[in-house]
Structure formats: structure tokens, C-alpha cells
Amino acid sequence: MMMQPGTYFYHGHYGMQRSAGLYGSLIVDMADGEKEPFHYDAEFNLLLSDWWHKSVHEQEVGLSSNPFRWIGEPQSLLINGRGQYNCSLAAKFSNSSISQCKFEGNEKCAPPVLKVRPNKTYRLRIASTTALASLNLAIEGHKMVVVEADGNHVQPFAVNDLDIYSGESYSVLLKTDQNPYKNYWVSIGVRGRDPKTNQALTLLSYSATPASKLPATQPPVTPRWDDYNHSKAFTKSIYALMGSPQPPKTYNRRIILLNTQNRLNGFVKWAINNVSLVLPSTPYLGSIKFGLNNAFDQKTPPDNYDSSYDIMKPAPNQNTTQGSGVYSITLNTTVDVILQNANALAKDVSEIHPWHLHGHDFWVLGYGEGKFKDGDEKTFNLKNPPLRNTAVIFPFGWTALRFVADNPGVWAFHCHIEPHLHMGMGVIFAQGVHRVGQIPKQALACGLTGNKQN
């Protein structure tokens, strides 16, 4: 497979392996002789994540229990797998009840310091593999120019801070044009949920200044967690770089996916068009290729939801069904997906969900408030929508995506919040499976395909 140059990461996808720490960065460089459409002198790579003290096993058991036990907010935010718990680099500025971390240098938990030379341009590659947290990153005294999103070039734009949701990646350019005799805070905080987690902090440290010299200033303050206008303003500033592939002008099939939080015999679930995803024990690819119809439930999930459903209120009937969630898509057709957010179980609550598609990029055609309705497609951006593989839905809103089903296989499309996927928040797109060649033996090893050859 041809890999598109850019900033990516990999992770385990079985159970909640990603929450347990099974992930890493994956950077694809430009081919020899090819150049990025922007210049930089050096780069840093920041993979962001969140961390709980409770084991992932205990988290999974809690989520699958009746009564339901939610995982709560993370104990730490991590930068390249490193973070602090009961001390903070910036304790004296942020919260007097926590103590200031004392670093001697080279501690395992110490975050990586970004050591820079003055008057250079640095590329920061930033990716988020958090289990839950939506994040905001800011660098004291420095603007960032966004140039890449999920491996695709975007129209450069300058920001003071950047929102990043689980599953996403960005590259930003940073000019080291400030006083080189000072160090500057790099701060990461939680967005979209009432944060109970300390900021993650590290330093942008100019070569003339030792990293041990902490700034005397307050680290950048993360925008209020529920200031969604701030998040929307950032998200809606992202456009494809001129010359990027444009979307087809029309679609063959439109699938509207209602996102709801539900109950099932007292268990708490998430469901899409009232189907809560349960992954079968036989992997889909082999069972579909070999026509093993009893390997998973063959019921086709609906392409839409009941038009009388009031997305602004808790559902009158909170029950959901469960299923294998497989949408069969005709190969090489254009599919529009409208992700429709709604009120969760509790009154006046609707959360952010970053949706991630395997096997494809999609164009993000637009966002809207309330319920998607006929005529809203007139607001779609068909000229320069960004190509991405992850896009958020905001509380009580919708997000419209378009993709061409040109990659034979079986692909998950799911909320990238790990506990939400575990609770059923995803669907499956199957396309052109007869065109898939040899399936690796390991991918047939379990369930009904256990002794299949192909």
C-alpha cells in the first residue's frame, strides 16, 4: 500500500488496549526528491494521551456492569507517554493544593523539553491517542501556523491555541522569534468535559537558556471546557490546501447516523440508529469473504432514524437493540454520512464525539446546529473541504462527511473515545470484499474461520 506522507499513530484495537498504552507514533516522510509545500528547519513529535490509575481490565468490567461504573476523568495527561500525577510543574501558578514537581533532569516521568534555537522554524507534529480527553494545546508567547491535519495539507492559518480530539493529528509551524533568554510554557488542558485533570506542561526552551529555568509567568490557561464556540471557530477554520483532491459533486447514498446513549436491560450503552455495536468473535473480513452467514447477525442497520425523534431531549424510550452493525456499500460509490448528535441519557447533556473512519479519508463538508434537515446540504462546502480521517460532532449538532468507497475491505467507523466504542458506539462499512486477495492467516485465526485457507 502507498502511504501518504504525514503524521499518524498506530494502536491496539482489541478491547481497550489503547487505553492500556498500546500505541506509538507513525511518521511517514516525503519520498526522496519530493518536498512539503512549507519550509521548516527541524521537527518535534508530540503524541498526547491520558492515563488512569485503575487498570484497563477494571475499567472494562465497570463499563460492562449493572450498575454501570464510569471510568471517570484521567489522573494524568501524558506527552510522549510521560506525565506527573500529584505534583505539577506549574503548581505554584495553578492550584496551591498540589506541590511543585522537583526535577533534577532525566527523570522517567519528566516531559520532553523542546530545545530550540532562535530565529528558526520548527514543525511540531501533534497527535492525540487519548482514551477520553479532548485537548487544547498552547505555547506561551508563540503563534502556531496549522499546515497539516490527519496526513493532509491544509490552507495554513495561525492560532494561539489548538484543539485536538482523540484520533486526530496536526502539524503546526512555530517561529522561535521571542526573547531567547527566557523559556516558555507548553500547556495542554482538557476540553469538552468538566476537567478534573491537571494540565500537562513542558517547556519550549531556547538554546541560550537552561531548561531548569522555569518561566516566572503563568502557563497559558486552557479555554473553558464548555466554550464550544472556541472549538467550533478552530474546527471551521480548517480548509484543504489549494490543489487538494476535491469531493465528487453528488453522492450515491446518504446514511444518517443518530448518536444516542441508551439502556439495555439496565446496562448503559451507546447506539447508532438504535443499534449498539457488538463485535462478533469471528472477524468480519473472513466471514463475509467466505459467506459464513451465521458468524454475525445479518440484519442490515437502518440508513436513517425516525424523523419524529427529538434530539434536544432525553429519549422517551431509552432502550436500544444490539447488532453487528454492517452496512454493505457498493464498491466505488460515493457515500454521504451525516452524524447526528443528540441529548444523552441525562437532561441537557450532549457530548463531543470524534468519529474515525478506517481505510479512507473523507471530506468534511460541514457542521450544523440541531437536527440535519432537507436543504442543509446547500450549506456544504464542496470547493475546499478538508480531507481527514477523524471529525467531531459537537453537542446537539451534526457533521456531514463524504467519502468514496474505493478500498475493498471491512472498515470500522466509530467514536474514538475508547469507553464509548466499548459501549457500542460504532458501525461497520463492508465494500468489495470479493476483491480482497489473500487474507493473512492470523486474521482468520479465531472463531468460525479458525481453520480456513484462502
Ligand X SMILES: O=C1O[C@H]([C@@H](O)CO)C(O)=C1O
The continuous run of DSSP H or E covering 50 comes out as strand 42-51
- CA 328/CA 301 separation, integer angstroms: 10
Find the shortest distance in angstroms from Cβ 179 to ligand X: 42
In the complex, the smallest distance separating the C-beta of residue 251 from ligand X, rounded to whole angstroms, is 31
Output the smallest distance, CB 351 to ligand X, in A: 5
181 near ligand X (CB under 6 A):
no
How would you classify the pairing of strands 99-100 and 87-88? parallel
Which residues in 419-438 contact ligand X (CB under 6 A)? 420
Amino acid type, 122: Y
Q: Which residues, including other chains, have CB under 8 Å from residue 284's CB and lie 6 or more apart?
A: 295, 296, 324, 326, 410, 428, 430
What gap in Å lies between CA 151 and CA 30, rounded to an integer? 11
| Least distance in angstroms from the C-beta of 318 to ligand X | 12
Residue 70 as a binder of ligand X (CB under 6 A): the answer is yes
Nearer to ligand X, 16 or 139 (CB): 16
Least spacing, CB of residue 423 vs ligand X, in Å: 6
CB of 344: closest distance to ligand X in angstroms?
6
Whose Cβ is closer to ligand X: residue 194's or residue 374's? 194
The residue ranges of DSSP E strands in 150-214, in sequence order, are 152-159, 161-164, 169-175, 183-191, 200-206
Q: Give least dist CB 194 to ligand X, A.
A: 9
Q: Which is nearer to ligand X, 253 or 263 (CB)?
A: 263
Q: Residue 226 interacts with ligand X (CB under 6 A)?
A: no
CA gap 375, 251 in Å, rounded: 15
To the nearest whole angstrom, how small is the minimum distance from the Cβ of residue 94 to ligand X? 24
Q: Which is nearer to ligand X, 414 or 420 (CB)?
A: 420
Q: Closer CB to ligand X, residue 360 or residue 420?
A: 420
Q: Determine the residue with CB nearest ligand X.
A: 70
Asked if 415 is part of the footprint of ligand X (rule: CB under 6 A), the reply reads no
Smallest gap from Cβ 225 to ligand X, in A, equals 13
> Which amino acid appears at position 415 of this protein?
C
DSSP 306: -
In the complex, minimum distance from the CB of residue 166 to ligand X, in angstroms, rounded to a whole number = 12
> What are the distances in angstroms from CA 292 to CA 145, 228, 297, 334, 411?
50, 46, 11, 27, 18
**Measured from the CB atom, is 270 or 362 closer to ligand X?**
270
Strand order in the sheet with 121-128: 76-79, 42-51, 121-128, 169-175, 144-149, 152-159
**Residue with smaller CB distance to ligand X, 77 or 344:** 344
Q: How many residues of this chain bind ligand X (CB under 6 A)? A: 4
- Residue number with CB closer to ligand X (149 or 423): 423
| Residues between 158 and 177 with contacts to ligand X, criterion CB under 6 A | none
Does the footprint of ligand X cover residue 342 (CB under 6 A)? no
Smaller CB distance to ligand X: residue 142 or 420? 420
* Min dist. Cβ of residue 280 to ligand X (A): 23
Alpha-carbon distance of 176 to 422, in angstroms, equals 42
Nearer to ligand X, 10 or 70 (CB): 70
Q: Which of 351, 367, 424, 439 binds ligand X (CB under 6 A)?
A: 351
Given a contact cutoff of 8 angstroms between Cβ atoms, the answer to whether 185 and 140 are in contact is: yes
State in angstroms the smallest separation of the CB of 444 from ligand X. 33
344 in contact with ligand X (CB under 6 A): yes
Residues contacting residue 286 through CB under 8 Å, at least 6 positions apart: 292, 439, 443, 444, 449, 452, 454
d(CA 454, CA 344) in angstroms, rounded, equals 44
| Cα 221 → chain centroid | 22
The helix, strand and coil proportions of the chain, stated in percent and rounded to the nearest 5, come to: 10, 35, 55
SS3 call for 118: coil
10 is a site residue for ligand X (CB under 6 A):
no
Nearer to ligand X by C-beta: 123 or 420?
A: 420
Helices (H) and strands (E) in the chain, counts: 5, 28
Residues 273-332 binding ligand X (CB under 6 A) are: none
Cβ closest to ligand X, residue 144 vs residue 344: 344
- Cell numbers linked to 191: 476540553
Q: Which residues contact 308 (CB under 8 A, 6 or more apart)?
A: none
Q: From residue 105, give the alpha-carbon distance in Å to each of 102, 110, 151, 161, 186.
A: 9, 8, 34, 28, 18
Binding site for ligand X (CB under 6 A): 70, 344, 351, 420
